[in-house]
Amino acid sequence: MGMHFLPKPMTLAVLGSLGILCAACGSNDDAPAVASAILSGSGCAGMEKIQLPNVTIRSVKEVAADSTRPANVTSGAFLPAHCVVTGAADAYKGSDGVDRYIGFELRLPKTWSGQFLFQGGGGNDGVINPALGTNTGALAALDGSNAYALSRGFAVVSTDGGHQGTDASVYGKDERGRIDHAYNAYDRTAQIAKQMINLYYGRTPDHSYFMGCSGGGRQAMMFSQRFPSYFDGIVASAPAMRVASGASISAAWESQTYNAIAPRDAAGNPVLSRAFSESDLNLVSNGVLAACDAKDGVSDGMVQNPSSCQFDPAVLQCTGAKNDSCLSGEQVAALKKGFAGPRNAAGTALYASWPWDAGIRAADWRNWKLGTSTTATPNSRFITLIQNAMAYEFLTPYDANFNILNFDFEKDPQRLAAYSAIYDSYRTTDLTPYTSRGGKMLFFHGVSDPIFSSNDTVDYYQRVAATAGGMDKAQSFARLFLVPGMTHCSGGPATDAYDGLAAIVNWVEKGAAPASVTARGTTAFPGRSRPLCPYPQSARYKGTGSVEDASNFVCE
């Protein structure tokens, strides 16, 4: 059975030597059988009486159905009547003297569909997000609560990842805190949720699902590899599969590259955000569209086939003085270096390259890579989030003085290796333990994602296909959908509202593999729809009919 916790945590060096660490994290046997129902019929209040090993029930609340609906939701309650249970598991005092536990929230609808969803986290975790069953992309922006799994009758659980607080310094100094965040907190939460579901409804779920983006996407992949019996369907969006190694190295690479060309303040210090103005990024976006937009049969502000887009920013280089209509030679060189991905002195790639796409003009791209600070103190997400995670969690041992702008691409990758071995999820490509049970998996990734390259997810999917014996075999259990223009998890010049939950449920429960997934525009392209096509296919305009309607495009 899966490991519940580590009373005497192994060292990171020992864990790292175990590869994917199944020896450490337990076998792939079915999760422990849960007890027979003792609370069925007693309602929400009965959950206060639950006694599970090393689990404390912190609160139980009955929530009435909310009849207030957004204007675009035509039927059903905004949220159904349900029971909310919060709890803490495996409390302990860390080696750093901090009291920790695995926090979770479980929501149990009064009218249950028999389905269970584990809602993935993100960032450094450290908070319990409401267990509503967040769907993919920006679907909730169009479909209100109907986008959520809870409103579709699912029981839903979420967790804080085994620590309380989003700053990596509050848990990364403690080995068990790192191990909980890597995998153990999710294993425990899944098992506890299924036990409670059985106690509440009198039976275990008919079908179980995991869905998450970013860090939640990493967690999704982790479940398919280490705990393959837990879920029937898994959706991994923009997966942070190499965040503890390659993606963070890339964040350092780009931060240093763009900082090197940034204009200086009066004291001679670079102002990172000014390396590229809004005009500069719009110029690059328009250049990409000019080179690649029409290749899908229509010029519509979207590049449907990123693999066919060959763009060279040198075409935008100024022939004279820098102005808003061109890029400086330094800017062109920096973009080429950044998009090519990090390499060491020997030329070995340390992460994936990045696709050229129109989303470089989006606010999210700037927020991650450049920030908006007008001073020499940068506020990019690479600096505020990734640097913090690297310093206190990804580096072994942690380094409170770490500065991402001083990352050494020859020496420092080795400092990430030990934790990467237990945290990252890009290495395992044989998913037979999961797929042999009928498990299905969907990947979604925005082509303009600024923190995790969609090229890396394409590479993983290709490696899975090679291991499975070919793309046709891989598509029998896993499919990848790239979202043109979309930045991290949602946003950008994209049709970024799509129902990944319905797609995975239909595949698992009805045997209907998604030949495409319809996506709609939200902030960008309102009223537009497009088919998201399973890789390696991409959408192409048929040549007739409205270019705003997905039915006039074909996957090929």
Q: In what order do the strands lie in the sheet with 529-532?
A: 497-498, 517-520, 529-532
Cα–Cα distance for residue pair 447/291, rounded to 1 Å: 16
Amino acid occupying residue 82? H
90, 125, 180, 449: the active-site residue: 449
- The residue with tokens 């950008």 is 492
Cα–Cα distance for residue pair 224/464, rounded to 1 Å: 12
Cα–Cα distance for residue pair 287/281, rounded to 1 Å: 10
Write the pLDDT tens digit of every residue in 58-75: 999 999 998 666 555 555
End-to-end Cα separation, the chain, in angstroms:
43
pLDDT at site 96 = 87
The C-alpha torsion from 93 through 20 and 206 to 74, rounded to 10°, is 80
Whether residue 130 is preceded by a cis peptide bond, meaning omega within 30 degrees of 0, is no
pLDDT at site 145 = 87
Contact indicator for 267, 375 with CB cutoff of 8 Å = no
Cα–Cα distance for residue pair 340/503, rounded to 1 Å: 33
Reference 212, options 123, 146, 107, 109; nearest CA is 123
pLDDT at site 144 = 87
145, 151, 208, 214: the active-site residue: 214
pLDDT at site 28 = 36
Q: What DSSP string describes 212-241? A: EETHHHHHHHHHHHH-TTS-SEEEEES--T
Q: CA dist 324 to 121, 210, 278, 318, Å?
A: 40, 46, 10, 10
Write out the two tokens for 201.
Answer: 């409804």
Q: What DSSP string describes 358-381? A: GGGGSHHHHHHHT---SSSS---H
Amino acid occupying residue 99? D
Contact indicator for 214, 122 with CB cutoff of 8 Å = yes
Amino acid occupying residue 500? G
Along the 556 residues of the chain, how does pLDDT read in single tens digits? Answer: 233 333 333 344 433 333 323 323 333 344 444 444 445 556 899 999 889 999 999 999 999 998 666 555 555 568 899 999 999 999 999 998 999 999 999 999 999 999 999 999 999 999 999 999 999 999 999 998 889 999 999 999 999 999 999 999 999 999 999 999 999 999 999 999 999 999 999 999 999 999 999 999 999 999 999 999 999 999 999 999 999 999 999 999 999 999 999 999 999 999 999 999 999 999 999 999 999 999 999 999 999 999 999 999 999 999 999 999 999 999 999 999 999 999 999 999 999 999 999 999 999 999 999 999 999 999 999 999 999 999 999 999 999 999 999 999 999 999 999 999 999 999 999 999 999 999 999 999 999 999 999 999 999 999 999 999 999 999 999 999 999 999 999 999 999 999 999 999 999 999 999 999 999 999 999 999 999 999 999 999 999 999 999 999 999 9
Length of the chain: 556
Our answer to whether residue 82 is catalytic in this structure is no
DSSP state of 308: G
Q: How many Cα atoms within 13 Å fall on the side-chain side of residue 392?
A: 19
Our answer to whether residue 488 is catalytic in this structure is yes
Q: In what order do the strands lie in the sheet with 99-109?
A: 55-63, 82-93, 99-109, 155-159, 115-119, 207-213, 233-237, 440-446, 478-483
296, 445, 488, 516: the active-site residue: 488
Our answer to whether residue 214 is catalytic in this structure is yes
Amino acid occupying residue 366? R
Q: CA dist 431 to 111, 214, 218, 372, Å?
A: 34, 20, 15, 42
